[in-house]
Amino acid sequence: MRSRHVTAAVAAAITAASFVVAACAPVPSTPTTPVDYSVCPNAGAGQVQVAVVVQGGQVSSPPVVCVVVPAGSTGLDALNARAQRIGRVAPRLGFGGAFVCAVDGLPAAPDCSESTPDGFAYWNYWNALADGTWQSSDIGAGDRVVTQGSVDAWVFGTWDFATTFPEPPTLSGSFATLTN
Per-domain residue ranges for the chain? Answer: 47-179
In the prediction, which pLDDT does 30 show? 61
DSSP letter, residue 28: P
Sign of CA dihedral 104, 140, 124, 67: positive
Given this model, what pLDDT does residue 172 score? 96
Q: What does the pLDDT look like over 104-127, one tens digit per residue?
A: 998 888 888 777 888 888 899 999
pLDDT computed for residue 70 by the predictor: 98
Segment 2-29 mean pLDDT:
46
29 has a pLDDT exceeding 80: no
Architecture of domain 47-179: Beta Complex (2.170)
Instruction: Spell out the residues 6+ positions from residue 38 whose beta carbon is closer than 8 angstroms to its own.
Output: 51, 62, 64, 65, 66, 178, 179
The pLDDT score that the predictor gives to residue 34 is 84
Strand partners, 156: 123
Whole-prediction pTM: 0.80
